[in-house]
Each structure stands twice: as C-alpha cells, then as structure tokens.
A and B are shown apart, each in its own frame.
Chain A
C-alpha cells in the first residue's frame, strides 16, 4: 500500500495489495465496522481472515504487520507508525474482487414534461435499457419519468420511444417498469426516495432499499440552470438540497459508492456542493455552458436524444457484463469536439482510481463466479472454521479437462 493510500484509509477503503515497512506503532481496527462489512459477528471473524499479531484493542504488537487473507474493510485504521504499515495481501483471492460493493441499484430520473422534451424521456429510457441489459433487475431500478411520450397523441408511432432517428431501438419496449410516473415525479418524492423517509404505505417498487454495500447509479436529465434542476416545469431542486440528501444517505449508511451522472444545461453546478465521501460525479456541461441535443427526427419534429447521453450510450452498447472497460474510459466518452460542451467530473470525493474501477460496477450487477473442479469441505458447526479442499476424493485428472473460464454473467439479448 502506498503511503498516500494509507493516509486516506481513514475514510474506509479496501486494502490494496502491497507491503510496507513496519515499525513500532499503535494501531487499532474498528472491529465493529469490520464485522458489519463481513456480515457476521466479530467473534467468528477468525474463520474468514487471520490477523497476525493480534487484532483486538489490546496493546499493540511488537511489529506493525497485518496479514489479511481476505478482503477486509479497514474502517478506521489510525496509525502513528513512524514508518508505513505493512499489509500483506494473500493472493488466494481473485483479483477482480477489488470492488467493495455487494449489490447494485440505479435511480434514473427524467424531470421534464411536454412533447418538445421528448429527448429527456429518450435519454432516461436508454440508460434504463443499458442498465437492465447489464444485469440490474427491475426491483433494484427506480425509474422516474415525468411525462408519457409513448402514448402522447403527437407520437406517430404510438407506444414506442426511439433514441435514434433511424429507429434502431425502441427504448420503451414491452417490459419497461416506470416506478414514478407523471406528476409523481416531484422534488419531495425524489428526496424522500433518496433518504428513505417514505410513507409506510409506499410499495417496495417505490423504495430505495439500499444498504451500505450498495453501489448506486443516479442519472438525472431535464432542464437545469446554475445551481438547480427543474422538475415538471413548476419547481426546482437546488444543489444544496441534493448534497444534503446524499449526506443523509451517507449518515444512514445507505450507499457504498454513488456514480452521479447529470445531463442538463450547466450541469456541473449540481455537484458543486457535494460533501459526502464516495461520490463520483459526471456532468455533461460546466457552469455557463448549455448541453446540446444531438439530432432531430424529421418524422416526429422534435430532438430525440442529447449529445452526452448519445455518446455515453454508444460506449455502453459495447459493454457486456464481463467487459473490462473502466470508468476512466467512460469519463472520456464525450470529448469537447463531439459534445460541444465540456464534460465536468468531480473526483475529489471518490478515493478509488477510476482507471481501476470497472464500468459494470455501477452500470451492471456482476457477481463473480469462480469455476473449480475441486471438491470443497464445508465447515461443520462447532468444527473447523475454514473451507478446506477435500484431498481424499480422487479427482480424475486423466479426463481431458477443458480450459475453465468464467461463465457469461447473463444471457445477452437485445430487446
């Protein structure tokens, strides 16, 4: 672990591989937080990891060394080691599990109504399609659409919404599930959804049931200005309100990381006031710039998609659930020559390196499946705590073994 990562460890990160020199130190690990992260009472932690040189809140070990055989979240490792801390990472765990989340959610919001804002509905439905295709189930997507374009009398192709003048994809489809529709998309409902303060009678489909292992993708589109986003042509949400809502979420441990994407005019003003950790914010334009639409469909007579979302979708269309594309690549989807507005990014609240974060960690719901031909002994209650390989069973090595590979996450279908 490099020195700077150690310095930032207070916020709570996954330990990276590496090792450091050691020295005399006083250190402690917040065992409660580690226990919460591993979903088990702390006294059974020994089964999944081993901490050398004593992990409890007891006198510090003679040497500052910590051996971790599993991914452990070091919540508040305060150190005053004269030298850096040694963390030796056991290579037995797969490399792709650098991520720290356990589930994925998406909140996709379109805030504008009327026929001439067709493109905002197309934006949000296209994101919905991508996110669903990459594996996030409908039960974990909150889709808020302020107006019904598919059934608008002006739509020459009723029950369809296209994001392209060539009508390649009907983003409305047959299985779209809109959770907040029409006049239900209000600032109050949005903030209540984020903070979780909903009436007891609110159905599950309208609740954001996240926990502190959830990575949330929040995508907002509509008309915005310097410091606000317009909802429904009658009210606005300010950037201060949004930042406070996210802080409430952080206090309530309602998210692990948030990827906040906003595609409006002067979008960068919306993330100016964020102060909660683990938020990566992407805005389609800076303060003082307008986000522009991409093209008009002459058969309908309105613009049907915005530039930033168009190029983001072009990128996402090429992402599959097992893709290795990173967030750093996603941040480059819309350079100024195609987007005309400058894409704004806020990275200071996000401690991970975007070039090491996969796009599917926010846009998809990917679980790693490791294939093995070995037989494993699961621990009995009260017995040994570790999963061990059963060596007594003779695996036939004479059988021609096909090379193993990770199973494809989901059946890919383009609807």
Chain B
C-alpha cells in the first residue's frame, strides 16, 4: 500500500486543481443547473456512453468516492466511463488500455477534448478490424489521477461474490473507495494515456515517469519514438527534441539538461501523467501528449508550416496498438531502470549505478575510518560506552517523526479555527514544527 504521505501529496496537488473548479455548477444540463454544488457531470458520461455503445463496445461506468481526510472531511464522488472492444477471434485473456483524462472546460490544466475524440475515432476504426488478439479498453477518467487510481484498484482487486458484500480487499483506512467494476477484460499488458490538447499539434511528447519515479519498460518508449519517426511526426522527450549533433559540446549540454530534468521529475516522485499509476500493477504505460502552436513548440523542435493532424497522431497510435497486439508476453526484455538523455539514447542501471556505488563507498570508507579512530581512542578511554545512552535519542526521534506523519488531519482541523485552507494549514503547521525542532536541537546542543 502506498504510505499515506504520498496519497496526501497526490490529493493536495490535484484537489486544488480540480475540486475548486468543480464546486461551480455546470450550466449545460438541466439536472446540473438545479443543483448548486455539484461534483460530477452525468451529462457528459451519458454522451460518451452513447457513443461507445453505438460502436458496439461493452460500455460501463465506474463510480468512486474520495473521503477527504482533511478539512471538514467531505466526500467527493467521481465517475469513469470505459468501453471494452472485445477481440472477436482472440481468447480474451489479455487487454490493452487506452485512456484519457476528462477535464471540464474551466479546468486549470489544458483540455483533453481532442484526446477523447481521438479515442472515439480509434474505437470506431479498431472495431472494424479482424486482427485483434487482445481486448482494448477505452477509458475516460475523471479527477485526474484519482479516477485512474480508483479504476485500477477496482480492476485489480477481487470482486465480491454478491454485489451487496463489501469489497474484501478494501483497506481499513480507506481514502479512495474504488467500488466495483461491472465489466472486466483480461490481464492488462500495456497502457497508453492520451493528453492531446489541440486538434493540430506541433509535436508529440512522451512522458514516462510514474509514481515514486517508477518507469515503464524501455521497449514501449522506443516503440513510440520509432513509430513517430516512421510516420514523420516530430517527437520529443521532456519537450526537448534530439540535438542534430549529439557528439558536439552543445549537443552534450542539451542532452545533459534533458537527463537532469528527467532525474528531477523522477526524484519528486509525482507521476507526470495518469500513466504513472499503472506501473504499480506491473503494466507498462506512458503518456503521449501534444499541444498546439499557442503552447510554444518544444526545445529544438523545428517549426513546420503544417502542424501534425489528428490523423497522423491516430496513425502513430494505431501502430502502437498493433505492435502491442503482436506481443505474446508482457514487456520484460528491456530495461526497467534507465535514464534518457535523448529519445534515441539510454543509460541503463548497469551504467549509472556503479558511480553511485562508488560515491556511497566513499561514505562507507569515511565511516569505517571514523569507527577505527574512535575504537583506537577507546583503548585509552576509561570505560565502555553502552548503547543504552543513545536509546532516548532514538526513541525520541522516532516518536517525533510518527507525530509529524500523523499530524496533518489534526493540523487542518486546527486551521479551520483560523479559517485556513487545508493545504495552507498543513504547510504552516509543518514549517512551525520544523522550526520548533530546530530550536529544541540548538537548545539541547547548548
């Protein structure tokens, strides 16, 4: 299970983005106009449901609830819509997922309506082909990563025998109640998350980093870059295209910057897209994103007279899906730990780990030297130090850390008294604790 701290981070970041917005009511349908504070949009899900069902796919909705632990402890609900294209000649034991996050028109992040349109077009085209050996699941999620996480949890957890029974695998401290899925396909082999923001994009950016810095198999990344190359679609990593002269000094610097930006995003532990939640279930997934001209091109991407049309993006995705269809096993041949300085170069763990090992070895050598020095000094000292004198420090440190870990809900309730938002109250409270501890430490040192 993910430690609570990361879930908090997830909640904090994305709630700020989505839930503030969804507190306004949607004005498009009669149902929503009547309610003041509405947190879901049934009209849109019905629209997509209709579209997918018309194509002949098995369409389902999935509801999930988030029990927000901080502040007043409200419950927020969300809905995902997913449609399964069953392979008519396949055995149905494996599946691929093509997903897109739904963003309401007033969201802070760029809209993904073209992604959903692309998904619908893909579904229509794929449903007419005979060469599918795996089922394809088209998933539209709500509330960014929460929807994707809820769906994945529900997909991979055992379903209760009777609908009225509670889910046997639900954790005791449940923040995200993922509910049950009505329909399911086989084991998921790979996932593609689409975040195409405009009908005419300048380039396709492939995002890899997942939760806690986990990465998909390098084969999937190489596949997408190769297909983009074949279809003459400019492709970037970290919004930076490959330098034309990588062996020159500028090329090296360009690649170093790309590498460092990948390292920083991995170090933050925050997934760069919904794909990051798939990795914990052993599914290789990436996000393919593209923006229009107004977002500015990527670094080093040549400005072309014509942008990439949705049809070209669709061709790349069709190639990706067909290549994934040809697979017989899950991705396991290539690397899971790597660093990419460019779209066509990689540094595997076998190359970047030895220098880190040597650095750590230096620290170890220093520690051994210190121990040796102190043990030599011990012979001249008066008695043996017992370890017990350090026990209060150890216990005290652990207790302080435990308190810090469990304090955010309390802090938010305190903050309500001062009319602070939960994020502010947690931030201020933790900063205050840190300062207090520093003062205590300084005082104790004296």
Interface residues of A, Cβ cutoff 8 Å to B = 114-116, 151-156, 158, 301-302
Contacts and interface: CB of A to CB of B under 8 A. Distances in A.
Main secondary structure of the interface of A (DSSP, over half): loop
Contacts of B328: 114-116
Counting contact residues on chain B (CB < 8 A from A), the size range is 10 to 19
Contacts of B325: 154
B133 A156 contact: no
Contacts of A115: 133, 326, 328
B323 A153 contact: no
Interface stretch (B109-117, B124-132, B288-296): B124-132
Contacts of B90: 153
Contact of B130 (A114, A156, A301, A302): A156
Contact of B89 (A114, A158, A302): A158
A154 B323 contact: no
B283 interface: no
Main secondary structure of the interface of B (DSSP, over half): loop
A285 B90 CA distance: 37
Contacts of A155: 131
Interface of B: 87, 89-91, 129-133, 322-323, 325-326, 328
Contacts of B91: 153
A153 B326 contact: no
Contacts of B87: 153
Contacts of B89: 151, 153, 158
A131 B156 CA distance: 52
Contacts of B131: 153-156
A115 B94 CA distance: 15
Contacts of B133: 115, 152-154
A301 B91 CA distance: 20
Shortest 6 CB-CB distances between A and B: which pairs?
A153-B133, A153-B89, A156-B131, A153-B90, A154-B133, A301-B326
Given A114-B328, A153-B90, A301 B132 contact: no
Contacts of A154: 131, 133, 325-326
Given A153-B87, A153-B89, A158 B130 contact: yes
Interface centre among A151, A154, A156, A302 (most CB of B within 10 A): A154
A225 B149 CA distance: 46
A379 B148 CA distance: 92
5 contacts: A152-B133, A156-B129, A156-B131, A158-B130, A301-B326
A116 B328 CA distance: 9
A232 to B, nearest CB: 14
A152 B131 CA distance: 9
Contacts of A151: 89
A158 B328 CA distance: 18
A156 B128 CA distance: 11
A412 to B, nearest CB: 34
A116 B129 CA distance: 20
Nearest to B131: A156
A175 to B, nearest CB: 23
Contact of A302 (B129, B132, B326): B326
B146 to A, nearest CB: 35
B351 to A, nearest CB: 27
A153 B322 CA distance: 12
A160 to B, nearest CB: 12
A173 to B, nearest CB: 20
A116 B90 CA distance: 16
A155 B90 CA distance: 11
A114 B129 CA distance: 21
A115 B327 CA distance: 8
A198 to B, nearest CB: 32
B231 to A, nearest CB: 12
A154 B89 CA distance: 9
A214 to B, nearest CB: 39
Contacts of A301: 322-323, 326
Given A153-B90, A153-B131, 7 more contacts: A115-B133, A115-B326, A151-B89, A156-B130, A158-B89, A301-B322, A302-B326
A289 to B, nearest CB: 24
Contacts of A116: 326, 328
A116 B323 CA distance: 11
A157 to B, nearest CB: 9
A310 to B, nearest CB: 22
Interface centre among B131, B325, B326 (most CB of A within 10 A): B131
Contacts of B323: 301
A156 to B, nearest CB: 4
Nearest to A151: B89
B333 to A, nearest CB: 12
B84 to A, nearest CB: 16
A119 B322 CA distance: 18
A414 to B, nearest CB: 27
Nearest to A302: B326
Contacts of A302: 326
Interface centre among A153, A158, A302 (most CB of B within 10 A): A153
Nearest to B87: A153
A155 B89 CA distance: 10
B230 to A, nearest CB: 9
A153 B89 CA distance: 5
Contacts of A114: 328
Contacts of B326: 115-116, 154, 301-302
Nearest to B129: A156
A152 B134 CA distance: 12
B220 to A, nearest CB: 16
A253 B129 CA distance: 53
A153 B326 CA distance: 10
A114 B133 CA distance: 13
A114 B328 CA distance: 8
B421 to A, nearest CB: 53
A153 B328 CA distance: 12
Contacts of B130: 156, 158
A151 to B, nearest CB: 8
A16 to B, nearest CB: 55
Nearest to A301: B326
A115 B90 CA distance: 13
Nearest to B89: A153
A151 B130 CA distance: 11
A158 B87 CA distance: 14
B329 to A, nearest CB: 10
A149 B359 CA distance: 53
